[in-house]
Every structure is written in structure tokens, then in C-alpha cells.
Amino acid sequence: MRGLAAILVMFFHLFSIIGRPPLIINIFGYQLEFTYIASTGWVGVNLFFVLSGFLLGLPFIDWLRGTNTRPSTVNFYKRRFLRIFPAFYAQLIIFFILGLFGWYRVPQDFYVWILHAFMLHNLSQPLSSAINGVYWTLPVEFGFYLLLPWFAIILFCLRPNPKKLFFWVALLLLVFLLVVIYRYSVFHLITERTRPRLVWALGQLPGVFDQFLCGFFAAFIYRHFNLERNSKQLNFLSNLLFSIGMGGTLAMMYIIHSNVGVYWRAGYGLLFYWNSITAIFIGTWVIAVAMRGSFSRKSFETTPVVFLGLISYSLYLWHSPVLQKLKFYLARQSDIDTSIWLIIVGSLLVIAISTISYIVIERPFLKIRHSKVFTDPAKLINTNPS
């Protein structure tokens, strides 16, 4: 699913670069429009956040339920650092070198690089996209990493409530309410309501914590009902949840696509609760995939999809600058179809560069992360492939 998330975001940016053309397929005289999938492909970010809550939450859920020891906080932080920062730092260095030769436009102020190095570049909207437009999500994700062990400790202090389904439903509803209040307040306090500024302001950790918590709640459901068991009944349930989760997510994408004109003006209140409802559907989808029903295996356990999952982080980091640079060079050519070149050559080039990044940079550090030094009692390594 990480591969799907990265591909969705990539095709959203690609769709924007080529001018947002309608995507219509004619099948047996019927026209099927898929424009809404590309125009709302940024939902891949929501998918990343829910997945993080689920995968990273599993060992903490096991601890809260009393089935395992508490994951080591120090090891958890080390593993998260080794997962996120090497590829990020490598790209920063490459951009800095390219900038020296004028091959990539980079900020001239040194403090901008320092803020990026410490994941503090989300202090303002211009800073958050000063080097790479996708960087705004990294401090949000890393902030969740820093918060998660302490959030789990707080829940542990509330025992035995964390073992009860009612407690989790009440917690989820409370967080939903707080997030809606946060987003509503920020929207009415912000003076410059442009789309980039709204994405930055509303997308900070308080405004997306519901998505991480939906993943965390999905992890609780998965463990509480012992859904990792294999049986015909659970295969049917997995397929049902898969259909509900995927169908609900697509429906929410279609709703926002159809109402995009009023969405960013907070029309119908969609801006305040759309993410929460979508996160519920994504969480349902994640549970179904974790259960490994037949729908999930056919969709996500094929070799190409598994490969995209492996390179998903590098793909996420590299797709936007590569596509933007390719568009710049293609714009100088008057005798070619820029859109076709961007779609075909651009996608292949992004995958090739992401593969190199994964092999050369990510994989060596993943091996360190998987060493015995970083294996904690909760076996975080086995439950978190992210």
C-alpha cells in the first residue's frame, strides 16, 4: 500500500504538470471518467499517515494489551531516524551540489538548509516547499514518530481501559472533535487563504492527528479481534472490508473532486471533516490488506506492486523535482508531445532514479536498522516494514 500511496501522489503532480486534462475511457460505448482519481491523488498522503499509525502502532498495541513488553523508545527513535533521514539528507546534498552549478534552483540562505536538516522547515509555508514541494509532510510524519511512544505511555497509564473497544471509540471521536475544532479555528484565523497556505496550515500535526490515530485504532481492531488468523470466514471478511475501504475512499475522492470549487472555501464543511471520514475508510482498507484476503493478495502481493512498495519513499522524494526538471527541458522542444513524454519517460525516469536511491542509500541503512542492535522486545522490525 505504500507503493500505491507514492504512485497516487506522483500521478497527482504529473496530472497537474500536464494541465489537468480529462481522463475518460470509452468501454463498449460507455464513457468512464477517472479524472477524479488523478485530481485527488494527494490522498496518497492520507494513506501514508494512516499506514504509519497502523504499522508503528502494532507493537505498542501489543504492549497496551499486555501481550508483549514495551518497545524500547530509544531503539524506536533510532530506527525511525535510519528510515527517514539517510535518503532525505542524500537528496539535500545532491540538490545543494546541483544548485552550485545552476542545475537546480535552491535557496541561497544557509539557515533554510539548517532548518531542513533538523526537520524544522515547516515553520512557515514558503520554507516548507523551498527546496522540494513534498518536504512539507516529512516534519509532520517525524513529529508523529516523536509523539507516539509518549502517547502510548499515556494510554498505558489509563489501564485497563486501553483494552476495551469502547475506550478506543471514545478516544477516536474525541480526537476527531479536537481536529475539526483546530481546522475550523485555523481556517478562520488565517488571512491568506490560498490553497498552498491552507494545505500547510491545516496539514500540521494537530490537524492530521486523526489520520494517524485511525491507523492506530485499526491496529487495535486487528489485534483485538485476532484478525491475523487464516480461515474462510476471515477471507470473506477481508474481502468485504477491502471493498468497503477502497470503495469509500474512492467515493470520498469523487466527492471532493466534484466540490473542489467550494472545498477550499470550507463549503459544506468538507474542509473540516473530509480527512477524518476518509481516514476511517483508509483504516478499514488497511485492516483488510493486513488480513491478506484474496482481494488483498491479488492487489498488493504481485511483484511490481511489492517493488513499488520497496522504493516508495525514494519515489515520493524524487518524483516532483524530476518531473518538473523534465518539463523544463521538454518545453524547449517544439516538435514533441510534452504530455506523452512526461507520462511515459517521466514515470520511467522517476522509477529508475528511485530504484538507485533505494539500492545505494536506503537499503544499506535498512540493513543496519534490521541488525540485532536495533531489535527490541516487541519485534518492531517484523511488524513494521515501513
Q: How far out from the chain centre does Cα 242 lie?
A: 19
The answer to whether residue 360 scores a pLDDT higher than 90 is: yes
Q: Are 128 and 122 in contact (CB under 8 A)?
A: yes
Q: Are 39 and 20 in contact (CB under 8 A)?
A: yes
Mean pLDDT for the stretch of residues 119-130: 93
Helix (H) or strand (E) holding 33: strand 30-33
* Other beta carbons less than 10 A from residue 209's beta carbon: 23
SS3 186: helix
Short-list 237, 229, 282, CA closest to 45: 282
Short-list 126, 20, 109, 57, CA closest to 386: 57
Q: What is the pLDDT of residues 89-116, one digit of tens each?
A: 999 999 999 999 988 999 999 999 999 9
Angle ∠(176,275,279) on CA atoms, nearest 5: 80
How far is it, in rounded angstroms, from Cα 383 to Cα 105? 40
Mean pLDDT check: name the lowest of 25-39, 213-227, 343-357.
25-39
How far is it, in rounded angstroms, from Cα 176 to Cα 100? 46
Please give the single-letter amino acid code of residue 47: L
The answer to whether residue 156 scores a pLDDT higher than 60 is: yes
Confidence of residue 332 (pLDDT cuts 50, 70, 90): confident
Mean pLDDT for the stretch of residues 147-168: 86
Q: Counting beta carbons within 10 angstroms of the beta carbon of residue 264, is it exposed (0 to 12), middle (13 to 18) or buried (19 or more)?
A: middle
Q: What is the pLDDT of residues 43-86, one digit of tens each?
A: 999 999 999 999 999 999 999 988 899 999 999 999 999 999 99
At residue 160, the pLDDT reads 64
